[in-house]
A and B are shown apart, each in its own frame.
Chain A
Amino acid sequence: MSDQSSAKAPPKRSFLQSLEIDLRLLGMIGAFLAVCIVFNLLTDGRFLTPRNIFNLSIQTVSVAIMATGMVFVIVTRHIDLSVGALLATCTAVMGMMQTTWLPDIVGLELGHPLIPWITIVAGLLIGALIGAAQGWLIGYHGIPAFIVTLGGLLVWRNVGWYLTDGATIGPLDKTFILFGGINGTLGATWSWIVGIVAAAISLFFIWSGRKTKIRHGFPVKPMWAEFTVMALIAGAILGFVATLNAYTVPTRVIARNPALFGCETGEGCVAAYGIPYSVLVLIAVAIVMTVIALRTRLGRYIFATGGNPDAAELSGINTRFLTVKIFAMVGVLCALAGIIASARLGYHTNDIGTLDELRVIAAAVIGGTALSGGVGTIYGAIIGALIMQSLQSGMAMVGVDAPYQNIVVGAVLVLAVWIDIQYRKRLGGKS
């Protein structure tokens, strides 16, 4: 019966097996740390400074957000080559909306408090619509995703151009640019609060997960392993917050507007940036996408369809509508990434997001998403984006020439996939 297995003594397990940490996750974190340490040595310790870690985080956000959506696309055996162009169309619409359309046509004054929010909603809607339209062509008309989104790459890149006449649009709204990174951060106190709450919530979920397992009579890992994992997670969250809080605002920036940092004068005022809003957005996206992937029917159907499209169809899953939903989701994420990318620059530029499609696909693939479908994780894609960005900015800091930078990134992409394939062969999986 069902309690047969638990009656037997559990077999001896190694340290890592007891922790039940995914080996692949461990490998990716290891690779990321290796990249960081190597660059830190090459740059005499300039790579792992709070300032550079802060910059790395905000540079990664835009690609990482889109990469989480790309995971679902690739898992269902599709591809989306249009994400960079889609991002450009969305930022073009949002740029025009806040600088021209809303002030001139609707009559809202520049700087009106509603402008950024109307803009953001419009941008997300446009992204969803374009994504859904592409998904409809792929799902209901059977045009390969490669073709639809290759067409989309040309179309949306140039719709953006057409909307703005190729001009740089800006400066963008003061509230809008808060999502860009350094312009909008939580400050030290709030960062600590967010960090502590986040750590507490993660610990709570680990604990309640354990209790659910016990209730159903499933084996659980030993107590010490549970506490080790909890300590690692809480340590990682609080360590990240501490690092960001260690990056203090330069005194000349404070001197410009001391009130902004809670000081009377610039003299002797110390303030930290803390967690950028854009990083919070990425964390929220990561949580939502992970919950979708693991805890909802939608996610289950995405992975089932990727594993065996015929079986999904025969199980009564509407795989066509599923395709529309996935591409609409990617559209929304492109718009969200567009908000962050354009807010970071302070402008919509005509070439915004160029080649992002390749970075996003590379991030997802480095993160262990299999192009054959059915396999992929959200956290993997985000770590993949981090690795790509670290390589790129690390090499720039070391002073590697531009052509070599791309050669290295390209080689790393291929190497990462090769390692992943070897790893899976060892496991004996067929994928």
Chain B
Amino acid sequence: MSTPLVEMKNVSISFGGVRAVDDVSIDLHAGEVVGLLGHNGAGKSTLIKMLSGAYKMDSGEIWIEGNKATINSPRDSRDYNIETIYQTLALADNLDAASNLFLGRELTTPFGFVDDSRMESETRKIMARLNPNFKKLKEPVSALSGGQRQSVAIARAVYFNAKILIMDEPTAALGVHETAMVAELIGELKKQGLGIFLISHDTREMMELCDRVAVMKNGQLIGSERVEDVTEDDILSMIILGKNPKAAA
């Protein structure tokens, strides 16, 4: 098999006395969608926050495309073409869509000033592709609906030619129609060869969208299985009981 896009090896992190992520190893290949499942507090978000640079792991290694990577900050993570859509969306509510899309990576004029016009027209282009109904380019994002805010966060991740995409509950705030659009987008990005980590609570949705699901409980990885090899019940029992029926069999 080819070199994985991402390999997290024996990763651990503790907060106070709590081992939020305990010796987890997981990998992700190009063109693959890996779903992370588990209860609230199982450690899914914490695990991917180490990959996105929001947290610094206590021990373990991260390898990107076969090379050992050092990720100490969100900026480092972006340098490895890792983009993250956070559960909270991480938008600055007082700024407009373009400012949020380019936050930390503003386009500038030759004199070094931010080039708002160019950023706005780029934003128009990508929004026309992702969410054609999106028209409120001048308003602060606090004035947008949940779905529109979500599409700003998604646009930010997609615009910069990510190789690795982390989506933390990307459909939690969305209606049926918008959820379908996200599913379509995931399929399209997968075809382009991106590797995607997807976090969700919706087991059925995960079975449809993912190639592989990994289940976590109490900071530990219970198992990682190809979706065609398991039933929804298998996954549920992994989430609830913390046992992998496949491994036992």
CA distance A296 to B112 in the complex (A): 7
CB–CB B92/A216 < 8 A: no
CB–CB A306/B94 < 8 A: yes
Which chain B residues lie closer than 8 Å to A300 at the CB level?
Answer: 95, 99, 103, 106, 114
Which chain B residues lie closer than 8 Å to A301 at the CB level?
Answer: 104
CB–CB B112/A308 < 8 A: no
Q: Within the complex, what minimum Cβ distance (angstroms) separates A429 from chain B?
A: 6
Which chain A residues lie closer than 8 Å to B75 at the CB level?
Answer: 316
CB–CB A5/B135 < 8 A: yes
Residue A375 is within 8 A (CB to CB) of chain B in the complex: yes
CB–CB A314/B120 < 8 A: no
CB–CB B114/A295 < 8 A: yes
CB–CB A307/B74 < 8 A: no
Residue B125 is within 8 A (CB to CB) of chain A in the complex: yes
CA distance A317 to B105 in the complex (A): 10
CA distance A317 to B90 in the complex (A): 13
| A215: nearest chain-B partner, CB-CB | B117
Over the window 199-220 of chain A, the binary record of Cβ atoms lying under 8 Å from chain B Cβ atoms (1 yes, 0 no) is 0000000000000110111100
CB–CB A1/B128 < 8 A: yes
**Interface of chain B residues 85 through 126 with chain A (CB within 8 A):** 86, 88-95, 99-100, 103-106, 108, 112-114, 117-118, 120-121, 124-125
CB–CB A213/B92 < 8 A: no
Q: Within the complex, what minimum Cβ distance (angstroms) separates A371 from chain B?
A: 14
| B73: nearest chain-A partner, CB-CB | A316
Q: Within the complex, what minimum Cβ distance (angstroms) separates B6 from chain A?
A: 19
Residue A413 is within 8 A (CB to CB) of chain B in the complex: no
CA distance A314 to B168 in the complex (A): 14
Which chain A residues lie closer than 8 Å to B93 at the CB level?
Answer: 307-308, 374, 430-431
Q: Within the complex, what minimum Cβ distance (angstroms) separates B196 from chain A?
A: 19
Q: Within the complex, what minimum Cβ distance (angstroms) separates A208 from chain B?
A: 11
Q: Please judge, given known A-B contacts A1-B128, A297-B108, whether A375 and B117 are in contact too, CB under 8 Å.
A: no
Residue B54 is within 8 A (CB to CB) of chain A in the complex: yes
Over the window 1-30 of chain A, the binary record of Cβ atoms lying under 8 Å from chain B Cβ atoms (1 yes, 0 no) is 110010000000000000000000000000
Residue B192 is within 8 A (CB to CB) of chain A in the complex: no
Which chain A residues lie closer than 8 Å to B125 at the CB level?
Answer: 2
Residue B143 is within 8 A (CB to CB) of chain A in the complex: yes
CA distance A2 to B128 in the complex (A): 7
Q: Please judge, given known A-B contacts A212-B117, A213-B117, A315-B74, whether A2 and B124 are in contact too, CB under 8 Å.
A: yes
CB–CB A216/B120 < 8 A: yes
Q: Name B92's contact: one of A1, A5, A215, A311 (CB within 8 Å).
A: A311
Which chain B residues lie closer than 8 Å to A430 at the CB level?
Answer: 93, 142
**Interface of chain A residues 273 through 301 with chain B (CB within 8 A):** 291, 295-297, 299-301
CA distance A314 to B105 in the complex (A): 12
CB–CB A304/B92 < 8 A: yes
CB–CB B74/A313 < 8 A: yes
Residue B56 is within 8 A (CB to CB) of chain A in the complex: no
CA distance A431 to B54 in the complex (A): 26
Q: Please judge, given known A-B contacts A216-B120, A308-B93, A375-B94, whether A296 and B99 are in contact too, CB under 8 Å.
A: no
| A305: nearest chain-B partner, CB-CB | B92
CB–CB A314/B90 < 8 A: yes
CB–CB B103/A315 < 8 A: yes
Which chain A residues lie closer than 8 Å to B108 at the CB level?
Answer: 297
CB–CB A314/B84 < 8 A: yes
CA distance A365 to B166 in the complex (A): 40
Residue A303 is within 8 A (CB to CB) of chain B in the complex: yes
Residue B140 is within 8 A (CB to CB) of chain A in the complex: yes
CA distance A301 to B102 in the complex (A): 11
Which chain A residues lie closer than 8 Å to B190 at the CB level?
Answer: none
CA distance A216 to B115 in the complex (A): 12
Q: Name A296's contact: one of B54, B105, B113 (CB within 8 Å).
A: B113
Residue B243 is within 8 A (CB to CB) of chain A in the complex: no
Which chain B residues lie closer than 8 Å to A1 at the CB level?
Answer: 128
Residue B78 is within 8 A (CB to CB) of chain A in the complex: yes
CB–CB B114/A297 < 8 A: yes
Residue A399 is within 8 A (CB to CB) of chain B in the complex: no
Which chain A residues lie closer than 8 Å to B92 at the CB level?
Answer: 303-305, 307-308, 311-312, 374
Which chain B residues lie closer than 8 Å to A306 at the CB level?
Answer: 94
| B84: nearest chain-A partner, CB-CB | A314
CB–CB A429/B142 < 8 A: yes
Q: Please judge, given known A-B contacts A303-B92, A315-B90, whether A296 and B114 are in contact too, CB under 8 Å.
A: yes
Which chain B residues lie closer than 8 Å to A303 at the CB level?
Answer: 92, 94-95
| A375: nearest chain-B partner, CB-CB | B94
| B156: nearest chain-A partner, CB-CB | A315
CA distance A2 to B125 in the complex (A): 6
Q: Within the complex, what minimum Cβ distance (angstroms) separates B120 from chain A?
A: 7
Residue A310 is within 8 A (CB to CB) of chain B in the complex: yes
Which chain A residues lie closer than 8 Å to B140 at the CB level?
Answer: 429
CA distance A304 to B103 in the complex (A): 8
Contact residues of A with B, CB < 8 Å?
A: 1-2, 5, 212-213, 215-218, 291, 295-297, 299-301, 303-308, 310-317, 374-375, 428-431
Sampled A-B contacts (20; CB under 8 Å) = A2-B121, A212-B117, A213-B117, A218-B120, A218-B121, A295-B113, A300-B103, A300-B114, A303-B94, A304-B95, A306-B94, A307-B92, A310-B90, A311-B92, A312-B104, A314-B90, A315-B90, A315-B104, A316-B78, A431-B94
Would you list the 7 A-B pairs with minimal beta carbon distance, nearest first?
Answer: A307-B94, A316-B75, A307-B92, A374-B94, A315-B104, A311-B90, A304-B92
